[in-house]
Amino acid sequence: MHTTHTTHMRPYAFVPDLFEASSLSVLHKDMSDVYLPTITGLTHIFNFYAIFLLFDLYIIPFYKNNGLLPPSKEEIRAYNMFLALDDPLFTPITAEQYPLKEDLDEDELYYVGTGEHAKQYIAITDDEYLEYDLVVRSREFSAHYDMDIMICKIVDN
């Protein structure tokens, strides 16, 4: 005897049960498509920042301190200014910080930073009606400090 099994679908079988907790909650859904890329992206950002800090704080200073990397232009300029400030023969004048007219002494030699700073300072002194001998380039001091030094003798203030 052959029997066929038939299933009768009731229309209310497709209606979700609103009293069931899983139908009211979003937490049961898989959120790995949102969390995984976010966590991966943040991990990449932190890794790149950690590598940057490693190089910036340890590797690059180690190479510079041991002479394996050349110093930057700012470091060279700062070192030259440090050497120049300790020089008892000359009084430094830079374009950013120049003395007042009353503070300058006659017949005293002043050196004026690099060439650009010297031009700026001379323009400032022209505005202040300060008389000085023509600026002379000093090869010895330029070679010693590794910068273009111009020496200025104040004649009259």
- Per-domain residue ranges for the chain? 30-65, 73-156
Please say whether the dihedral angle defined by the alpha carbons of residues 146, 99, 85 and 81, taken in this order, is positive or negative. Answer: negative
Question: Considering the entire predicted model, what is its pTM?
Answer: 0.34
- For residue 33, pLDDT beyond 90: no
Q: How deeply is 81 buried, as exposed, middle or buried, from its count of CB atoms within 10 A (0-12, 13-18, 19+)?
A: middle
48-98, pLDDT tens digit by residue?
A: 999 999 999 999 999 988 889 888 888 877 776 666 555 555 454 444 444
137-146, pLDDT tens digit by residue?
A: 455 555 555 5
CA atoms of 15 and 17, how far apart (whole Å): 6
Kind and range of the H or E run holding 122? helix 115-127
Q: What share of the chain is helix, strand, coil (3-state, %, to 5)?
A: 50, 10, 40
